Structure 1
Amino acid sequence: MSPVAAPVCEPATQTWLDRRFSYRARGSDIRTEVVAGLTTFVTMAYVIVVNPAILGLAGMPVAGVATATCIGSLLACLIMGFLADAPIAMAPGMGLNAYFSFTVVQQMHLPWQVGLVCVFLSGLFFLVLTQLGVRQMIISVIPHHLLAAVAAGIGLFIALIGLKNAGIVVANPDTLVALGPMTAPGPLLALFGLAVIIALTLTKVRGAILIAIVMTTAIGIATGMAPITPVHHGWADMGATMLALDPAWAWRLFGHGWGILEVVFVFLFVDLFDNIGTLVAVTRRAGLVRPDGSIPGLDRMLQADSLATMIGALLGTTTVTSYVESATGVEAGGRSGLTAVVTGLLFLVALPFAPYAQLVPLAATAPALIMVGALMMAPLTEIDWNKGDEAIPAFLALVMIPLTFSIANGLAFGITTHALIKAFRREFTRENALLYVLAVLFVLRFAYIAAV
């Protein structure tokens, strides 16, 4: 082919979609982008069922959360696709929804309406930090091994919740936890679902988690192991969480004291680093990373994330973030924002069925949580366990998250221990000054908790 011919005919054959998403320049086409979007959706569609199940434990209306999950994911994917032109799908994140239910609402006794205000503020602060360039400074002072440990710790946290919901792990006054009655309906259903997920995953079946949830629910209903009560939903039920943020939010935040700042910080901190990790992994697999390691349009991706979180809070769900399952769409050939747009539109197609998520028993969603937790263990390989200065802070961050049911405690132990090691070695520099500030704040946090 003549080297002159291509530039001459290209503009004439270029469609609006190609001009908008540049998929041809990245070696893709419309069919590939659509298939990639479908692939991504199938692998992450479990969030439509699992997110309402977790937030329902905080007293939130399940039908409303399911609707917010679909609409929030739709809008988030559209924002990511059109604003950042990246093949990255977004939805309410696993881990922070568990933190919201079990720590913010159940342990701190904050009303879920106030918790949503915290989610909104974290998204707003994330946007401000992105615009000011402060996020680069924060990322630079937190060592990679701590980020890896926190990610894995959240995985253990999620898995523990799944085991608890299934009745496989139960409370015990003598040993804190113990093995539950394995012949009871809940554990049996959950173990069946887990077996299905493992089998489908090992045979590389797309949507293994979603298929297992559907199969387990169907068997539970058919055998009477998971009896259901027929429900009828109206528009009011579907919109029960929309704009539910407390109108007197300023007074509420003030009334709950300094603890509210911790909640906002955890949402902001975890979303910041989890999102960075996902963006790096997915864009690298898509071949969108420059030779110097930088990611084109990273700021726009982070802007999309922060905007999506604020929109999600207004709709009635927790932090909306980038999903690592987007990598499956990339493997299917997705290279542009059109992949994310297709994924978002499929969430719209699923919307009429979303309110019925409450018919799915906890025993059917528990295996999904266990599997997601298992998949989040991969970052542990990035920690050098032979180095004490890495291993000790990483281990404390890792175990304190599930053992205290708090991501904040894991962060606090990990960062504070890391700062103490730096101080012991007299490694004081201007670059790590922010690290010591964070450590002092965490120490003050422990003192505050002890005093109240």
Structure 2
Amino acid sequence: MAEKETLGALERHFALQARGSTLRTEVLAGLTTFLTMAYIVLVNPAILGSTGMPIAAVAAATCLAAGFASILMGASANVPLALAPGMGLNAYFAFTVVGAMGVPWQVALGCVFISGVAFLLLTFAGIRQLIIAAIPPSLFAAVAGGIGLFIGFIGLKNAGIVVSNPATSVALGDLKTSGAALALFGLVLTAALTAWGVRAAILIGIVATTLAGWLVGAVHFTPQPYDLTVISQTAFHLDLAGVFGLSGSHGLGLFEILFVFLFVDLFDNIGTLMGVTRRAGLIDAQGRVPGLNRILLTDSIATIFGSLAGTSTVTSYVESAAGVQAGGRTGITAIVTGVLFLLAMFVAPYAQLVPLAATAPALILVGALMMAPLLDIDWHDPEIAIPAFLTVAMIPLTFSIANGLAFGLTAYAVLKLIRGKITRTDWLLLVLALLFVVRFAWLAAG
């Protein structure tokens, strides 16, 4: 009886049946999302550790922030969108703000906190919602496809199938290496299971590839000393007074830091949100995302919470698409992912048990399957096709969802302006395009 009541409560809150999912599918999807994101538990401490932040403490803070944010997103917004400290923003935090500008990491955390508060205020004021409404549906379809190429490229790179090359930028890697060979095995297995219609194909592929890696000795693991209480070395160590006390060479630097944290997180988040929710079939006939306000509020709170815990900006993860491909359609997927991140706090170093070569096939496969929204773009209309192409191309080529959206939106606004099709209702579109141009000019000047 109690079990039926529990299932009934879950059905009422998460609308499992209405979204064509089951509790079992959601749990498997959450596990799949976690496994494709688990690398952040190791990568984020490695990056932020270069600032002098205690690595073990950052590992715990990473797990705590990702767990809290993902559970909050699933419970309040009911979308299969998981969050964690963002790649790219953590590098900017470590190598530019702290490394190049010489800002103490405690002050840098204060900047992250302020950017989170600014996000919260922009959300309450409805400005973030207006920005999303100003972006044409064709660009959202392009963002979804661009994200597919992006995460597919990340998977190929993690597997060693694609490597950097000074002459051609990228080139084919050595497929005889253990990582590349293992990833190819996982890709074939996962693709075959997907073609056969196995719902847990991605999860099975990750687990099987990990086991294969251990059996052939391609995975090596050396546990590091770790104690959960070390999180106290970063938690609540942000220095807000130091932020407002920045002066001299840091006077304008403060505005630059806050602008980048705001700008990149805003448009990375919008792009990820639209791409993943579109893939999950959660966008309505008018191209709107149900519960958008709750999603944006959760994102803002997540960044604030992350700065208090002791990590860089927390944002939505494109790897959530792996869980969606595994069948995740509700917030239960995100909640399961969050719970697993909280559990990972106790065994953070053991995330190395799943090698990148095992999660790479999942990213490649999901990237391929995310190409479908590109069919909705009218490629015969230059006003739509050119901005869409720039969006799709620039996301993977610049390793930034924000850059792709910036190029596409600016091109769309310029073409409408040249054709004389701009109306009074397009004022925000023009403002966004102008901000993008200013940003690119600023980056070029720097």
Q: TM-score, normalised by structure 2?
A: 0.77
Aligned to 1:6: none
- Which range is displaced more, 306-315 or 134-143? 306-315
Structure showing greater Rg: 1
Kindly tell me: are residues 221 and 443 of structure 1, through their superposed partners in 2, closer, same or farther at Cα, counting changes over 3 Å? same
Q: Compute the RMSD of aligned alpha carbons.
A: 4.1
Aligned to 2:35: 46
Map residues 37-186 of structure 1 onto 2, 5 A cutoff. Answer: 37-55=26-44, 58-60=47-49, 67-80=60-73, 83-84=76-77, 86=78, 88-92=79-83, 97-100=86-89, 113=105, 120-186=113-179
Map residues 47-446 of structure 1 onto 2, 5 A cutoff. Answer: 47-55=36-44, 58-60=47-49, 67-80=60-73, 83-84=76-77, 86=78, 88-92=79-83, 97-100=86-89, 113=105, 120-235=113-228, 242-243=235-236, 245=238, 248-250=242-244, 251=246, 254=251, 256=253, 259-260=256-257, 261-276=259-274, 278-279=276-277, 282=280, 284=282, 297-315=291-309, 316=311, 318-321=313-316, 323=320, 344-345=338-339, 347-349=341-343, 351-446=345-440
The amino acid that maps onto 1:308 is: A
CA contact (8 A) 2:112 2:304 kept: yes
- Which range is displaced more, 429-438 or 33-42? 33-42
Kindly tell me: are residues 151 and 451 of structure 1, through their superposed partners in 2, closer, same or farther at Cα, counting changes over 3 Å? same
What whole-Å deviation, never above 9, does each CA across 1:398-428 have from its counterpart, x for those lacking one? Answer: 1122223333432332122111101111123
* CA apart distance, 1:199: 2.8
Kindly tell me: are residues 344 and 359 of structure 1, through their superposed partners in 2, closer, same or farther at Cα, counting changes over 3 Å? closer
- Identical-residue share of aligned pairs (%): 43
Kindly tell me: are residues 391 and 313 of structure 1, through their superposed partners in 2, closer, same or farther at Cα, counting changes over 3 Å? farther
CA contact (8 A) 1:190 1:367 kept: yes
SS in 1 for 2:39: helix
SS in 1 for 2:38: helix
- Which range is displaced more, 419-428 or 223-232? 223-232
The amino acid that maps onto 1:45 is: F
Kindly tell me: are residues 310 and 449 of structure 1, through their superposed partners in 2, closer, same or farther at Cα, counting changes over 3 Å? same
Name the CA distance, whole Å, in 1 between partners of 2:399 and 2:332.
38
Name the CA distance, whole Å, in 2 between partners of 1:405 and 1:23.
39
The amino acid that maps onto 2:218 is: M
Kindly tell me: are residues 436 and 284 of structure 1, through their superposed partners in 2, closer, same or farther at Cα, counting changes over 3 Å? closer
SS in 2 for 1:431: helix
- Which range is displaced more, 271-280 or 217-226? 271-280
SS in 1 for 2:425: coil
CA contact (8 A) 1:166 1:366 kept: yes
Name the CA distance, whole Å, in 2 between partners of 1:324 and 1:402.
16
SS in 1 for 2:47: coil
- Which range is displaced more, 48-57 or 337-346? 337-346
Name the CA distance, whole Å, in 2 between partners of 1:217 and 1:18.
33
Aligned to 1:10: none
What whole-Å deviation, never above 9, does each CA across 1:114-143 have from its counterpart, x for those lacking one? Answer: 776665555433332322222332122211
Name the CA distance, whole Å, in 2 between partners of 1:234 and 1:445.
42
Q: Which runs of 5+ in 2 are unaligned?
A: none
* CA apart distance, 1:390: 0.7
Q: TM-score, normalised by structure 1?
A: 0.76
What whole-Å deviation, never above 9, does each CA across 1:338-374 have from its counterpart, x for those lacking one? Answer: 7765664455455434431134433333333323433
SS in 1 for 2:222: coil
CA contact (8 A) 1:70 1:347 kept: yes
SS in 1 for 2:86: helix
SS in 2 for 1:385: coil
What whole-Å deviation, never above 9, does each CA across 1:152-187 have from its counterpart, x for those lacking one? Answer: 223323322332232222222322221111112221
Name the CA distance, whole Å, in 1 between partners of 2:383 and 2:91.
31
CA contact (8 A) 2:152 2:365 kept: yes
